[in-house]
Structures are given as C-alpha cells and as structure tokens.
Structure 1
Amino acid sequence: MESPAVTFTLAYLVFAVCFVFPPDEVRSAGLTVQSLLAAWLGSEDAAFVQYHLRRSTSTLLAHSLLPLGYYLAVTSALAYYWSRKGWNNHPLARTLAVHALPQSGWREVASSINTEFRRIDKFATGAPGARVIVTDTWVIKVTTYCLHVAQQQDIHLTVTDSRQHELTPDSNMPVQFLTIRVASINPYVKAFDIRLNSTEYGELREKLRAPIINAANVVIHQSLSDLFLETFTSLVEINQTYSVPSTQELEPCIGCMQTIANIKLVKNCQEPNEGECQQCYCRPMWCLTCMGKWFASRQDQQHPETWLSSQVPCPTCRAKFCILDVCIIR
C-alpha cells in the first residue's frame, strides 16, 4: 500500500499545483475555477467588479478545499483497499488473525468474540471512544479507530497508575481511575492500557482469569465509602486538636479493638440552628478510621455531594456532630 499511496500523493500534488497555477494546457481544457463556474460568475464585460467579487471568493473557497479533497481521496482509497477480499486487508482482521488456530482464520476468532459479547455476563465499561470489554476468553479495548484484543490465557495485567479526584462539597461523585497494562505472551500482540473506575475493579477481577499485579503500590478504593474515608481523614487532620488530661488513660477503640482511641467529639462548628450540632460529653472511645466509617454509614448513598456538610449522631450518646467537631487527640 505504500507505493500506491506515494504515487497518488505525487499525482494529487501535481493536480493541485496545476489547479492553483494553471498552465496554458489546463486553461485551454477548461479546468479552472473561472471556466467551471462560468455560469454563476457571469460576464466580466457586463459587471466587472461584481464578476471579480464572485471570482475571488469562489477561487479562495476552491483552493481551500484542496487539502480536504486529498484526505477524502486517500481515506476513500484506504477504505476500498480494506474492504477487498472480504475485509481481509483490514487492520482488525489482521489483529484477529494472530489469535487464530493453525487451521482457521480471523473469521473464526471473530465468531468467538461475537458469541461471547452477546452473553449478559460480560464485563463492559468506559466511554464510546475508550470502552473496555472482558468476556470469558477475551480482553478487548475499543477506541475510535481500532480494536485491541488479547486472550485471557496469554496475558499479564499490571496496575501502572492511579489518578484520583478528591471528594468536595460541589462534586457529585469522587472518582479514582486506574490504568492497567495488558501485556500478552504472544509476540504478535501489542501491549495496551485499559482505564477504569476503581469502583469497578472488583467486578473486573471476578471476570479475569489472570491475577492483577499492583506494581505501582496503588491503594485501590473499591467503594464510595473508601474514597470518603480518605477525604474525611484529611479534613479532620486540619481541625483543631483536643488535649486529654494527663490523668486520663486512653482505651482501645470500641469499634475495632485494634487501635487506641484517638479522637474526641467537640462542638466547634458554631452551628446556630437548634437541633443541629450538639456537644458530646462521651470520653474518647473511637479511632479516626472507625468514626469515619460510622459517619459514612449514616449518609444517603444516592447523594454523596451532601456527605461533607451533613450531621450524624454520636455512635454512643446520639449527640449530633459534623466533620468540624471531630478532633484528633494530642
């Protein structure tokens, strides 16, 4: 395909030069803007200025379409070439052919993918230009112009990157996106990356046969509560701290019994509305993680944008508090 492409490019270049700077032979053949649009341009003798208004405008427009004409002609020729021999020349057909058994071809591979894609138990996610599909046998990435395909039995998967959008009061949903590298032991299959929301990570793992290696040591948040807990902790850490009397001995958290209680609820938000935040008189009995989990469990799961600004009852005395009232013990 390289030689025809070069030949066509040279031929189109000659055509474009002759169209913009027509020699006498081209003019005599009537292949100029003035000749092709003579009926619309009218007579130069009848209205000289109006004629050249139309002529200069149409010439500029025609010349500006030359690059578009080249790309349309090239892509049309490429599309025709791909469709020849029952689409055997298409890059996707060649991609599928490397997965075919010795006595079969790409159509058998396509039939397998078609059959598995129709099943309702497939994993599918992503936007139309970057879809990820995992079936019993195949891992597929759909992009705008191509399809990446790998067999599950041949692949190694590695988490290479994580990008997170922090939960804020004006956001609708906190999001952590994971980038997973799909590499095949088949030398003819190029490695490719898939990207998905961390909340879908568990469902993806259930559909995969191969384990996923976390090479980047990414902390993967697989639920909304996980993401909120991280934000809850970061906000509490900037609150004012609480000093316990030297005679008071801290006990293990009654939530997990693994960590010493390290937070105290102190009314700091100065909420003026009666019935909202209240002073809690309980002694320190909870760790920051368990209190964050308690706070998240009391929220409306359908409206995460309200979580940071809401109040919840103390798990012990039921006094209402907000995030501003959670103080780390010094």
Structure 2
Amino acid sequence: MASEEVIYTIAYMLISVCLVVPPNEFRAAGLTIQNIFSDWLGSEDIDFVRYHIKRSTATILFHSFLPLGYLLGYAFCFSNSDLLQPWKLQLFWQISITVSILLPLISGILSYYWSQNDWKKHPIALRASYHGDSWQSVAAIIDVEFRRIDKFQTGPPGRRVIVTDSWILQTSTYLMDIARQDDVHLNTIESQNFNFTDESTVGVQYISLNVISVNPNISQFTIRMNATEYGDFKAKLRTQIINVRNIIIQETITERFAEAFRQQVVSNGVYRLPAGSQEPDSCIGCMQVPANIKLTKLCDDNNVGDCVSCNCRPMWCLTCMSKWFASRQSQDSPQNWMSSKSPCPTCRSKFCMLDVRLVAMTRY
C-alpha cells in the first residue's frame, strides 16, 4: 500500500506542476487556465487588461484547490475515510487538511473582494490606476494599443513581454507589470549564453534588463529576452537603453555562431609554425589583425572522411574564418552549422570546425 501511495503522490505532483507550468503538450491539448475558463475570461485582443485581471484571479483560485484535490483524491483512491474525520488523525494530517481548506477559502474571499466595484482593488487594476485617473481609463488606452499589429511581443506564454507605442507590459502567473514608456529608463544588467539548447546547436544568448519608472508607485521589474529579438525591442522603444556594464549583445545568428566557433577553435589546440617559416601577414579578409588560423585535419585519420589538411599558409583571422564558415552553410538550418563542413576560402579544401586551429607564434 505504501508504494501505491508514493506512486499516487508523485503522479499528482507531476500533473500539478504541468497545470501550474503547462508544457507544450498540455497547451496543445487545451489544458490551461486560459482554455478552461475561456468563456468567463473573454478575449485578450479586445479587453487585454480586464482579461489578465480575470486570468490571474482564476489562476489563484485554481491553484489554491490543488492541495485539497490531493487529499480528496487520496481518500477516494485508498478508501481512507479517516481524512473525513481529521480529529482522529495525526497532527501532520490535521495541519495538512486545515491548510488545504483554508487556501481555497482565503482565495475565494480575496477574489470576491477584488471583484467588487468593477475590480477596483485588484493588484493589476491598482497598478494601472497609478498611471491615470482610473484603471479603466488606462486600460482603454492599453487595449487600443495592444490591438495594433506593430506591437512587440516575446517570451513564453506564462511570462510575456509586450511593448506598445506607449507602454511596456510583462505578464506573469499572478500579476502584470505596467510601465509607461515616457516614465522609465532601462538598464542592461545581465547576459546569459548557452552553447546548446533544445532548439539549436548554435546556442542562444538571453538579455536581462531592468525597467525603472520615475513613478514612485511603480516598482522596478526585470524583463528577459532572446538577443536576436533585441533589435526589434529597441526599435519599439521611445527611450534609450543604458548598457553601463558594456554587455556584448549578439543580435544575429551569425554573431552567436561566431562565439560558439571561437570556443570550439580554442579547444582544438594550437598550431605552432615550423622554424624558419614566414611570419603571418595581415588577414586578407579584414586587413586589420594578423592571420592566426591554420586548417589541419584533426577530426579523423587522413584517409577517412571528406576533410583534408589544407596546405595554405595562415591567411585568415579567427573572426573572418567564422564568418566565412557561416556564409557557406544553409541559412535555413542554423542548427546544423556546428556539424557541417566548409571549403577553405583560398584553396577550397574541405574542413570542419574540429580542423581549425589557432596559430601560436612560438615556433618549433
């Protein structure tokens, strides 16, 4: 019996997590708060702010019933009638039952309180009211701008960043951040680079920015986005982004690939010029830095595969070679670039990323 109870507990926890943070499969099946309560929530496109006021309320109510659902399911699956007589149970179960009942009760009372006077006391309505005479007047402006097709949107469904002509909005599970563009300044605070993701082997860079409002009633909040979307985000803003930490933002797929290419080349080891050989000239691609790349077959034995050792002397720098390599790949399949091959830009000998080595100026 104990093992069955453990299995039930694990299964209920997994289902609960999927309901709180729905994966793509649950979203495709319509198992989300938005779909379950769609008739009551209305249309996000028509009534954006009110929609999220109702959505956050429904989410709090739904999540508050999960602990009680666990206990009721436990009593039903294992015919445990003692759960219906808590005074006979141990202290742990008495506390669990009390909390599981109090959570939906408190959530219900809170939701009813928020709904009075046309949701005037709801946290999202309060945040909107700080920008005007009433939350309804501010919501009307936001609703109109949200319906325009030129707005900027990014982020997963549970945490979207939306930039309209006048507003920066961020939705979350229980709240929504609202800031007027004319009242804020933005600071770039962090950059996270991932060499591999579940969608691409080229890697991805995420940028975090602080949104700070001069309105004392508006708390600062942090938004996060893919670096490839940074240009579109910046174009929609009416204010400047301050990058005091001088974070390098890789806005294009080529820039992200160049960083992954550099890391791979560094791990390939160095090539030492033979004694008496000529010093490398400037890179013939950019003419700005000395050539520092040598193509030597390292990926396999000399007689295996398509790659061959290039006999050209070093003529290209690392940056130009990465751009050349990227330019020879299918632009529709960047996830395959890391494992692809390219011809040498000088002699057309085929090579892969494992064959690219940095030139060490110390000779044999």
Aligned to 1:94: 126
Aligned to 1:269: 299
Count of paired positions:
275
**C-alpha distance in 1 between matches for 2:263 and 2:109:** 58
Q: 1:168 to 1:286 in 2, by over 3 A?
A: farther
Alpha-carbon deviation of 1:108?
A: 1.2
Aligned to 1:115: 144
**Secondary structure at the counterpart of residue 307 of structure 1:** helix
Aligned to 1:30: none
Aligned to 1:222: 251
Conserved? CA contact 2:202–2:257, under 8 Å: no
Pick the structure with greater CA Rg.
Answer: 1
Alpha-carbon deviation of 1:69?
A: 2.0
Conserved? CA contact 2:291–2:317, under 8 Å: yes
Task: State the Cα deviation string for residues 151-197 of structure 1 (Å, max 9, x = none).
Answer: 11111100111111124899545121111000011111111100111
Aligned to 2:178: 149
Structure 1: 4+ residue segments shifted above 4 A: 60-64, 168-173, 271-275
Aligned to 1:56: 82
The amino acid that maps onto 1:162 is S
**C-alpha distance in 2 between matches for 1:170 and 1:83:** 42
**C-alpha distance in 1 between matches for 2:155 and 2:137:** 27
Aligned to 2:353: 323
Aligned to 2:313: 283
Q: 1:168 to 1:179 in 2, by over 3 A?
A: closer
Task: State the Cα deviation string for residues 262-288 of structure 1 (Å, max 9, x = none).
Answer: 112122223567661023222221111
The partner residue of 1:293 within 307, 320, 323 is 323
Alpha-carbon deviation of 1:300?
A: 2.5
Q: Which runs of 5+ in 1 are unaligned?
A: 1-52
**C-alpha distance in 1 between matches for 2:285 and 2:319:** 9
**C-alpha distance in 1 between matches for 2:314 and 2:251:** 30
Aligned to 1:129: 158
Q: 1:282 to 1:169 in 2, by over 3 A?
A: farther
Give the TM-score taking structure 1 as reference length: 0.77
Alpha-carbon deviation of 1:111?
A: 0.5
Q: 1:55 to 1:223 in 2, by over 3 A?
A: closer
Task: State the Cα deviation string for residues 217-273 of structure 1 (Å, max 9, x = none).
Answer: 211111222122112112212324223343413221111111111112122223567
Conserved? CA contact 1:239–1:327, under 8 Å: yes
RMSD: 2.4
**Secondary structure at the counterpart of residue 308 of structure 1:** helix
Superposition map of 1:170-319 within 5 A: 171-172=200-201, 174-244=203-273, 245-271=275-301, 276-319=306-349
Aligned to 2:110: 78
Conserved? CA contact 2:292–2:314, under 8 Å: yes
**C-alpha distance in 2 between matches for 1:294 and 1:176:** 22
Give the TM-score taking structure 2 as reference length: 0.70
**C-alpha distance in 1 between matches for 2:338 and 2:81:** 66
Alpha-carbon deviation of 1:95?
A: 0.8
The amino acid that maps onto 1:130 is R
Q: Which runs of 5+ in 2 are unaligned?
A: 1-78
**C-alpha distance in 2 between matches for 1:138 and 1:320:** 51
**Secondary structure at the counterpart of residue 326 of structure 2:** helix
The amino acid that maps onto 1:154 is D
Percent of paired sites with the same residue: 46
